[in-house]
Amino acid sequence: MPTASAPRYDRGLMWFRRDLRATDNAALYHALKACRHIWCVFVFDTDILDKLPRADRRVEFIHASLEDLDVQLSSLGAQAGIAGVHLHVRHGPAVHEVAQLAQTLGVQAVFANHDDEPDALARDARTLGALAHHGTMFHTYKDHVIFERQEVLTQQARPFSVFTPYKQAWLRTLDDFQLKGYPTRRYAASLAPAPLAGSRPTLQALGFGATNLTQLRILPGSDGAATLLEDFLQRIDHYGTARDFPAIKGPSYLGVHLRFGTVSIRLLARTAYALHAQGNNGASVWLSELIWRDFYHQILANHPHVVTRSFKPAYDAIKWDHGKHADALFAAWCEGRTGYPLVDAAMAQLNQTGYMHNRLRMVVASFLCKDLGLDWRRGEHYFAEKLNDFDLAANNGGWQWASSSGCDAQPYFRIFNPVSQSERFDPEGRFIRRYVPALAGLTHPAIHAPWAAKPMELASAGIELGKTYPLPVVDHAIARQHTLTRYAVVKQAA
């Protein structure tokens, strides 16, 4: 990292990845400070895009957020008297595109923010090599979390694997510097007008079709994040109680913005911390969730084996169900046809909107591994494909928590009952009615377990089980016993 005594670069390139904002951006700040002329680029990386379905809300979200980022950069430049500042947008393998643009622009250094996912680290290692080949430096910075990698350690200097002591150490380590924003405007005069002709590729040119992102009113870019934050701050006092009920507008819905960096984690943590210090309980609970996010990021950074294996090795001995019947159960889970209304409503929410409420993520994840007997990685991959806010660290952490294989996970013998979860967290069945209209006519005691309803009641609600709504694909009580047997290998290994 260049210091005050290091030579200033004449030309540099800022490479945006999961940090799509011009304000409070660590790498952009350092780039502007260290260079006389800075250009900015985003690459639609074909190494990533080629694996995605052709209609993907995340790609559309990024595409729209880049328009916003381009406007932000132009106005940041204009405020410093520099006209014609624009974001370069490339489409191709990122390593090649960045190295080529760096050469064309004749930059001495490329700047980016850390991304600790194993594939991203491998990409960055290749980028470092490609740039070094032409004598170009590659500088990267922490931006995406408050504390990363090994910044918060136990007294034995080891990474934490239990959340509560991690959170205490996180709070003890926190200081004003960690929460302070990076004032990019201070060095905005280093922004350079875009010298190269070329417009941003359309979604179609990238090979993608439009999704229902606009109909869902998911607002991209920093403006979208600011609107959500403003709305959430009116409700944050009640977050601690409201957050568990999917029919209520309890959480912030900022996940997708945190994922793509259209909002700064420092801004959110600073806001939450200030309210927490004033004794606001909702803000304290929300701050804890932001700390969970850091927790799982450091787990992934320090234990990359979790991407393919259990955090706790003993859990790799578990034998999951395979074969035709298992595949049919998996399809029923994916498509919301399990016969358990809350599970089906949750999967419908995911399939229709790309969002799933946190309580429901826990319920459906537990259902997949502990009721259906399926490998948690199958569910993890399905979430990775569908979630707008998909984040490898948090998703893997959530799945390993639910399957009990993770660090600080729920014990394996704790098995969510999908009916009592439904009665408790969607007592009137409002959420179920919204996403499973076939059940809308049922009264609320019956809506949680339609198979137990009286035939008269089903008939008057227009429901024919097995036809208009599925019968349960498993019996929870029997599945629970199978799971305890299945997980016995873990007890033997302990």
Ligand X SMILES: Cc1cc2nc3c(=O)[nH]c(=O)nc-3n(C[C@H](O)[C@H](O)[C@H](O)COP(=O)(O)OP(=O)(O)OC[C@H]3O[C@@H](n4cnc5c(N)ncnc54)[C@H](O)[C@@H]3O)c2cc1C
Q: In the complex, which residues of this chain contact ligand X (CB under 6 A)?
A: 243, 251-255, 258, 289-290, 292-293, 296, 358, 361-362, 365, 383, 387, 389-391, 394-395, 397-399, 402
The answer to whether the CB of 244 falls within 8 A of the CB of 211 is: no
Min dist CB 80 to ligand X, Å, is: 32
Kindly tell me which of 12 and 255 has the beta carbon lying closer to ligand X: 255
Closest CA relative to residue 397, chosen from 319, 303, 482: 303
**Alpha-carbon distance 101 to 107, whole Å?**
9
The nearer residue to ligand X, 296 or 311, going by C-beta atoms, is: 296
CB of 387 to ligand X, least distance (A): 5
The distance between the two most distant Cα atoms of the chain, rounded to a whole number of Å, is 82
Cβ closer to ligand X: 40 or 365?
A: 365
Residues with Cβ within 8 Å of residue 221, at least 6 apart in sequence: 20, 64, 65, 67, 68, 69, 262
Pairwise CA distance, residues 252 & 250, whole Å: 7
Q: CA nearest 55: which of 175, 170, 214, 172? A: 214
CB of 373 to ligand X, least distance (A): 17
Least CB distance from residue 468 to ligand X, whole Å?
29
The pairing of beta strand 87-92 with beta strand 109-113: unpaired
- CA angle 73/77/81 to nearest 5° reads 165
What does the alpha-carbon distance between residue 439 and residue 458 come to, in Å, rounded to a whole number?
9
Residue nearest to ligand X (CB): 398
- Which is catalytic among the residues 39, 286, 333, 376? 376
Burial of 235 (0-12, 13-18, 19+ CB in 10 A): middle
Please give the single-letter amino acid code of residue 325.
Answer: H
CA angle 128, 134, 138 (to 5 degrees): 30
- Name the catalytic one among 286, 292, 333, 401: 292
Which residue's CB is nearer to ligand X, number 296 or number 330?
296
From the list 67, 148, 151, 289, the catalytic residue is 289
> How far apart are the C-alpha atoms of 436 and 348, rounded to whole Å?
8
Residue 109 φ/ψ, nearest 5 degrees: -150, 145
In terms of CB distance, is 248 or 489 closer to ligand X? 248
How far is it, in rounded angstroms, from Cα 287 to Cα 92? 38
End-to-end CA distance of the chain: 45
| Cβ at position 361, least distance to ligand X in Å | 4
Nearer to ligand X, 243 or 312 (CB): 243
Question: CB of 392: closest distance to ligand X in angstroms?
Answer: 7
Helices (H), 160-220: 163-173, 176-179
Q: Which residues pair with 92 in a beta bridge?
A: 45
d(CA 445, CA 454): 11
Q: Which amino acid is at 10?
A: D
Catalytic residue among 151, 302, 320, 385: 320
Nearer to ligand X, 68 or 391 (CB): 391
Instruction: Give min distance, CB of 9 to ligand X, in A.
Output: 34
The answer to whether 281 is a known catalytic residue is no
> Which of 421, 396, 415, 403 lies closest to 343 in space, CA to CA?
421
289 is known as an active-site residue? yes
**Between 111 and 383, CB nearer to ligand X:** 383
Q: How far is the CB of 473 from ligand X (least distance, A)?
A: 20
Q: How far is the CB of 58 from ligand X (least distance, A)?
A: 11
- In the numeric block, the tokens 């090795």 are attached to 313
Side-chain-side CA neighbours of 180 within 13 Å: the count stands at 7
Q: Which residues pair with 35 in a beta bridge?
A: 9
Nearer to ligand X, 22 or 346 (CB): 346
Pick the catalytic residue from 67, 358, 385, 457.
358
Closest-CA residue to 287 (of 174, 183, 136): 174
Based on CB atoms, which residue is closest to ligand X, 58 or 123? 58
Residue with tokens 């690459």: 43
Residue 279 CB-half CA count within 13 A: 0
In the bound complex, what is the minimum distance in angstroms from residue 39's beta carbon to ligand X? 30
* Residues designated as active site: 289, 292, 320, 358, 376, 399
